[in-house]
Amino acid sequence: MVLPRFTLLVHAIVSVVPTLQSCLPDASLPQLRENISIDGVSMPVGIWVLDWPSAEIIAHIAAIIIEEELGYNVSLDGWGCCSHTAIWALSGCPDGQECNTVDASTGARRHHLALEAWSVSSGSSSLQARDKFGSDAATNLGSIGFKGL
């Protein structure tokens, strides 16, 4: 079966990439990378990672570009089971589950980006998050261009 081999390959790539010095030519040096400031708190760009292989790959590609090309620190976090967890995490819920207030430990939203979250399966969560968090709720910025099967 092809899928288990593909999954093993993805995990091998994902576990090796962080140990490399850099992936891009002229990459920003780690010690020169900066944090962003959100809700008055300095932090790395937070990427909420969904837990299927293609979502893990695209999250790591985004992290490499943000760190090495743009010069910002990145935190990969989450491993949410489903697309709706990205809506809640980006709206400020600390564990990707529906909540009523942002993460009480920091008072700030620490997840800022999620990739490969399928809007078809997260539509009602998006509306609920907008009702609870208003303009601070996660916003769908559109497709990265791949239509899927």
Residue 72: CB atoms within 10 Å: 17
pTM for the model stands at: 0.76
pLDDT digits over 54-98, tens only?
A: 899 999 999 999 999 999 999 998 888 888 888 888 888 878 888
pLDDT digits over 1-32, tens only?
A: 445 555 555 555 555 555 557 898 999 999 99
Which residue reads 């609870």 in tokens?
132
**C-alpha span between 93 and 87 (Å, rounded):** 9
